[in-house]
Amino acid sequence: MVLMHGLMEKNECCRGLVQRLVMAATAGVGVIQLSLSLLVVMFFLRDSIVVEGKNTPAVKSFETEYGDIYDCIDIYKQPAFDHPALKNHTIQMEPTSYPQGMSKESSSTTEVLDLGLPDGGCPKGTVPIRRIRKADVMIGKPPKRHFANATLNGPKPMLYQPPGRSHAIARTLPGEYYGTEVYMNVWNPKVDHGVDMFSLAQTWITAGSGYEVNTIEVGWLVSYSRNHDVITKMFVYWTTDGYRSTGCYNTDCPGYVQLNERIPVDYRLDHHTSTYNGQQYDVKINLFKDTRSGHWYLFRDLLPIGYWPSDVFDKLDTKADLVTWGGEVYYDVDICRRLTGSIYCPYPEMGSGHFPAEGYGKAAYMKELQVIDNKNMQYNPAKDCELINDRPDCFRITQNQKGVQVLPANHILFGGPGGYCRW
C-alpha cells in the first residue's frame, strides 16, 4: 500500500489506476490480480522513476535524443566510491607512467573524436554518470551475467560451447601482461528486439581462472535488453569472481572511476559505424597498468576516460595472465525455450555480419594489436596468439590474412551472419 501511494505521488497520469488498485486491495481482491495490475503500473512508470540510493544529486544533466540521461556528479560522489575498498581512495587523474612504444596517433577516423556531451560536457570537478531508471533494474540480470564461462579463461580453452553463446577470438598464450593497445573497427550488427541477446566486439584482460577469474573488458556492444535500443555503444565490464556476484557494466556498480568530463564511458557510436564496402570507422583503445599505483587506465583515442583502482582486484592487482581480442554473441536460452519450445534460436550477427574472407571494408577487423610486458614495453604478440572459433559455420576469425593490403601485419578479421548454428 505504501508503494502504491508512492507511485501516485511520482506520476499523475496513473493516479486513477493506482487509486482503483488501492480500493480493490481494501475490498479483498485476489493477490494475483493485484500483482498483475501493479506490474502494469510499474511498466508505464518504468522510465520516470529512478532507483532509490542509485542516483546522486546532479550539478547539471544532459538528455540524449534516445532518452538516456547523464547527470554531472561530483567526481568524489560517483558510484565508484561506494566500493568498500575505495572509501579513502584519492583520485589519480593521470597515470604516473605510460607504456613505452604507446602510439601517439588517434584512430584513423578522427571523426570519432567529435563524440561526447555537448557544450563542453560536465563542469570541472564533475563527471557524467548515466542515470539508472527502473527499467534498467526491471529488465533483469544484465546479459553479461549469463556469460560466466571458465573455459575461455583457462590455459586450454574448450572449443565446445553450449547453446546461447559463441566467440571468434584471438588470445595470447598464458604469460605476464600489463595491458594492450588496439584499433577496433566499429559496426552495428543486427540484434533482435524480442529475445535477450547481444553482439559485441572487445578486448579483455584476465587473471586467474574459473570462479576466481578477474577481468576487465572494453569494447562496443549492441543489446536491446541492456540499452533499450539497438544502437552501437561503447562499454566496459569487470568482475573479480568469474561473473558470479561482483562487477558490472560501466558505472552501474562501485569499482570503475570515471575521469573524463565530456565523454561518458558508455557513449553511443550510432553516427560513427562502418558501412559495407564503404566508410570505415575505428576507435583506438589503450588499457594499461600504471607501474607505480597499479591502477588500470582506460584511454580512448589518446584521451583518458577512467580507471579501475588496483584495490578492487585480488588477481589483476598485480598483472594479467591473458589478453584477448574479438567478438562475442549471446542469446538467453531460457527465453528462447519459452518463446519457441526449443533451446535453439538464431544467433545475432557478429561484427559486420560477414565472414573474414570478404576482407577489409566488408568484414570487421581489429588492427595493430599490442600487449605490454613487465618492462612496460609494447610489442606485437602475433607469434604468441591462438585463435578460438567455436561455431565456424556462423562465425569465423583469421589472423594476418593474406591479400589485405590496407591493414598492418598484426590484425584480425572476425565475424559472421549468425543464424541457426551447428554445435
Closest CA to 174 of 400, 367, 386: 386
- Same domain membership, residue 271 and residue 210: yes
| Per-residue confidence (pLDDT) for residue 228, from 0 to 100 | 85
Can you tell me the mean pLDDT for 248-256? 96
- Same domain membership, residue 37 and residue 69: no
- Same domain membership, residue 142 and residue 119: yes
Q: How confident is the model at residue 12 (pLDDT cuts 50, 70, 90)?
A: very low
- Same domain membership, residue 77 and residue 34: no
Residue 308 lies in a domain: yes
String of DSSP letters for 258-291: E--SSS-TT-B-TTS---TTS---EEEEEEEE-T
Domain assignment of residue 138, given as a range: 60-415
H-helix or E-strand containing 23?
A: helix 15-27
Distance, CA of 184 to CA of 255 (rounded, Å): 25
| 368 is known as an active-site residue | no
Question: Is the confidence at residue 10, as pLDDT, over 80?
Answer: no
Can you tell me the mean pLDDT for 107-122? 67
Residue tagged active-site, from 181, 261, 328, 349: 328
Q: Which residues of 230-260 are buried (b: 16+ CB within 10 A; e: fewer)?
A: bbbbbbbbbbbbbbeebbbbbbbbbbbbbbb
Residue tagged active-site, from 217, 261, 349, 368: 217
- Same domain membership, residue 271 and residue 369: yes
- The mean-pLDDT minimum among 116-120, 198-202, 206-210, 416-420 falls in 116-120
Residue 52 lies in a domain: no
Residue 50 lies in a domain: no
Residue 144 lies in a domain: yes
- C-alpha grid cell for residue 307? 580507471
Distance, CA of 166 to CA of 151 (rounded, Å): 12
- Same domain membership, residue 131 and residue 16: no
| 386 is known as an active-site residue | no
- Same domain membership, residue 310 and residue 338: yes
Closest CA to 324 of 272, 267, 285, 355: 285
Question: Is the confidence at residue 45, as pLDDT, over 50?
Answer: no
| Per-residue confidence (pLDDT) for residue 405, from 0 to 100 | 72
- Same domain membership, residue 165 and residue 119: yes
**Segment 149-203, tens digit of pLDDT:** 434 554 444 445 778 999 999 999 999 999 999 999 999 999 988 678 999 999 9
Can you tell me the mean pLDDT for 401-419? 89
| Helix extents (H) in 100-155 | 134-138
Q: How confident is the model at residue 84 (pLDDT cuts 50, 70, 90)?
A: very high
pTM of the model: 0.84
Q: How confident is the model at residue 55 (pLDDT cuts 50, 70, 90)?
A: low
Residue 421 lies in a domain: no
Distance, CA of 190 to CA of 180 (rounded, Å): 28
| Per-residue confidence (pLDDT) for residue 422, from 0 to 100 | 77
Percent of the chain beyond pLDDT 70? Answer: 77
| Helix extents (H) in 82-189 | 134-138
- Same domain membership, residue 182 and residue 39: no
Diameter over CA atoms, the chain: 76
| Per-residue confidence (pLDDT) for residue 72, from 0 to 100 | 98
- Same domain membership, residue 269 and residue 222: yes
- C-alpha grid cell for residue 175? 604469460
- Same domain membership, residue 196 and residue 288: yes
Number of structural domains in the chain = 2
Residue 82 lies in a domain: yes
Q: How confident is the model at residue 133 (pLDDT cuts 50, 70, 90)?
A: confident
For the chain, what is the mean pLDDT? 84
Question: Is the confidence at residue 254, as pLDDT, over 80?
Answer: yes
Count the Cβ atoms, other than its own, within 10 Å of residue 292: 10
Residue 54 lies in a domain: no
Residue 166 lies in a domain: yes
Find the Cα–Cα–Cα–Cα dihedral 382, 216, 121, 221, rounded to 10°: 80
- β-sheet bridge partners, residue 379: 371
344 three-state secondary structure:
coil
- Same domain membership, residue 342 and residue 253: yes
Question: Is the confidence at residue 315, as pLDDT, over 60?
Answer: yes
| Per-residue confidence (pLDDT) for residue 388, from 0 to 100 | 95
What does the angle CA 231 – CA 118 – CA 45 come to, to the nearest 5 degrees? 55
